[in-house]
Amino acid sequence: MHRRKFIKLSSASAAGLTILNFPVFGKMAPSNKVVLSVMGVNSRGAYLAECFSKMPNVEIAYICDVEDKAIQNGLNALKNAPRKPTVVKDIRKLVQQKDFDALVVAAPDHWHAPAAILGVSNGKHVYVEKPCGHNPYEGELLTKAETKFGKLIQMGNQRRSMPTLIQAVQEVRGGIIGKPYLGKSWYTNNRKSIGIGKKVPVPATLDFELWQGPAPRRDYQDNLVHYNWHWFWHWGTSETCNNATHELDCCRWFLDAEYPTKVTSAGGRYAFKDDWQTPDTQIASFEFGNDKAITWEGRSCNNFPVEGSGRGFVIYGDKGSLINKGGSDYAIYDASNKLIKQVKSTSVVEAGNTLSASGNDDLFHLDNFLQSIRGEAKLNSPVSEAHKSVLLCHLANISQRTGRTLNCDASNGHILNDKDAMALWRRTYEKGWEPVV
């Protein structure tokens, strides 16, 4: 979907909100105003800034980015907002400002946890996009920070706030498909080659020092910024953390699973020969003891659909199945594969849309964050819970990189009896930039 069309749709919902059955009583009271700052506004962050700005009693006070064109993109997204945001390029300076309540983090993956920790340690609530960390260690740091600093940290796994899926989970827990034991999830796209990059001078429009931040320093190359960093292990986290996070989270949620006991992964960079380091094709499986399992199929460069959709998940039980095709939709079938219930998405779904694959349904999650700040609700996806789903993605990547099956501790997901694999549990950091809790 084109950005202009999407924002038009989201604006209609955000302006009224009762369209989505959001409670509005008391939200316009001055004491309930929520003031936000947004870090990373080249794409998703600009979309989040605009959506937040159109919600009742919310202001965007600051935007933070390190590239001039991205900054302009963020300003353009907020050109009709009542308050013109101030631009601060350095996140370390931004979090010291006293006149905002919460930080929204939509920067590259290697910045997610360090920025979120800077936010909560400076008294801000944080909404951080998935995957919330570059590695498993950072997810654990965020969980610790959530407790230590007493601030809210919500991750952007938006399906956790969709009323239809909340209803579907309750139905599954109530036995509508019997005992659920297997989740199958998938994501497809038709991404093109990123080529072989050349080391070139850093563009004058980019502060590459701040862009790298906590990551050990590397030379700039011309196929890295803005999006292709996803496919380099040094900064990105592969298609698993980029997109599997959503469906794996749903599978774990529906199955009521915690940490895995065994993880395997097969795949590689098959479609092109270029600088892309992470897999473009990956099939991962996760076992939870002897009674539950989840699988994920990711194809970054071949978008032939699964079950008629570019992304989604199926929950299999001993008396039936539930299928989701990427948004807030679901259908339930009995043991004879007879359709017994169907709920359609309340929004347009586009599997490959980098702004929002699930359309206006994102607004439920944003509103849940705001309600929680105001004390009117509890987070649907606190980072202590979201981290468990992101960990599945990280473990799949570690299995892929080591070429081995991982046996894990069911109490915390830690890798057992494999020093080489456990060495990938965390990264090294640029000196002076280490996240500390």
Q: Is the pLDDT of residue 4 over 60?
A: no
Residue (of 206, 107, 135) closest to 429 by Cα position:
135
Query: Which H helix or E strand runs over 398?
Result: helix 383-402
Mean pLDDT computed over 408-426:
98
pLDDT of residue 384: 97
Residue 401 has pLDDT above 80, yes or no: yes
- DSSP result, 17-70: -GGGT---TTTTSGGG-EEEEEE--SSHHHHHHHHHHTSTTEEEEEEE-SBHHH
In this structure, the strands spanning 180-188 and 292-299 are parallel
| Segment 21-47 mean pLDDT | 79
Closest by CA position to 225, among listed 42, 429, 39: 42
Query: Confidence class of residue 349 from pLDDT cuts 50, 70 and 90?
Result: low
User: If you write DSSP's letter for every residue of 124-186 in order, what string do you get?
Assistant: -EEEE-TTS-SSHHHHHHHHHHHHHH---EEE--GGGG-HHHHHHHHHHHTTTTSSEEEEEEE
CA distance 370 to 57: 10
Q: Give, for 251, the enclosing helix (H) or strand (E).
A: helix 245-255
The three-class DSSP label of residue 293 is strand
**Phi/psi class of residue 359: alpha, beta or left (left: φ > 0; alpha: ψ in -120 to 50)?**
left
* pLDDT (0 to 100) of residue 105: 98
Indicate the pTM of the whole model.
0.93
Q: How would you write 376-397 as a 3-class SS string?
A: CCCCCCEHHHHHHHHHHHHHHH
Look at 134-148, 154-168, 334-348 and tell me which has the smallest mean pLDDT. 334-348
150, 190, 223 from 143: Cα distances, Å = 11, 35, 34
* Mean pLDDT, rounded, for 169-195: 98
Measure Cα distances from 407 to 48, 68, 181, 241 in Å: 38, 45, 20, 20
| Higher pLDDT, residue 20 or 104 | 104
What is the pLDDT averaged over residues 15-43? 68
Percentage of the chain modeled with pLDDT above 70? 90
Mean pLDDT of 26-42: 84
pLDDT recorded at residue 29: 65
Mean pLDDT to the nearest integer, 28-51 = 91
212 pLDDT above the threshold of 80: yes
Give CA–CA dist 231/372, Å, rounded: 34
State yes or no: cis peptide before 30, omega within 30 of 0.
no
Residue 345's pLDDT is 86
Whether the pLDDT of residue 148 is over 80: the answer is yes
pLDDT band for position 188 (cuts 50, 70, 90): very high
Amino acid occupying residue 214: P
Mean per-residue pLDDT for 90-103? 98
Q: Which of 240, 222, 252 lies closest to 186, judged by CA? A: 240
The one-letter amino acid at 278? T
In the numeric block, which tokens belong to residue 48? 């989040």
Looking at the predicted structure, is the pLDDT value of residue 13 above 60? no
CA distance 135 to 425: 6
Dihedral Cα 252, 254, 256, 262, nearest 10 deg: -30
Does residue 351 carry a pLDDT above 70? Answer: no
Give the separation between CA 107 and CA 104, rounded to whole angstroms: 9
Q: What is the pLDDT of residue 346?
A: 78
Could you report the per-residue pLDDT of 82-94, keeping only the tens digit for each? Answer: 999 999 999 999 9
Checking if the pLDDT of 328 tops 80, the result is: yes
Cα(245)–Cα(231) distance, integer angstroms? 16
For the cut 70, the answer to whether the pLDDT of residue 59 exceeds it is: yes
Query: CA–CA distance from 235 to each of 104, 204, 213, 383, 405 (Å)?
Result: 19, 21, 10, 21, 24
pLDDT digits (tens, 9 = 90+) for 236-287: 999 999 999 999 999 999 999 999 999 999 999 999 999 999 999 999 999 9
Handedness of CA 357, 358, 360, 364 (dihedral sign): negative
> Hey, what amino acid is at 398?
I
Walk me through the domains of the chain, giving residue ranges and CATH numbers.
Answer: 3-158 (3.40.50.720), 160-194+224-357+383-425 (3.30.360.10)
| Rounded average pLDDT over 151-178 | 98
Q: How confident is the model at residue 359 (pLDDT cuts 50, 70, 90)?
A: low
- Range 416-436 average pLDDT: 97
CA distance 124 to 93: 13
Residue 3 has pLDDT above 90, yes or no: no
**Mean pLDDT taken over the chain:** 93
User: What residue type is 337 in one-letter code?
Assistant: N
More confident residue, 189 or 17: 189
Return left, alpha or beta for 201; rule: phi > 0 is left, psi -120 to 50 is alpha, else beta.
beta
The closest alpha carbon to 235, from 257, 255, 219, 246, belongs to 219
What pLDDT score does 370 carry? 98
For residues 112-133, give the mean pLDDT: 98
CA-to-CA distance for 255 and 316, rounded, in angstroms?
Answer: 9
Give me the pLDDT at residue 164, please.
97
pLDDT at 352: 65
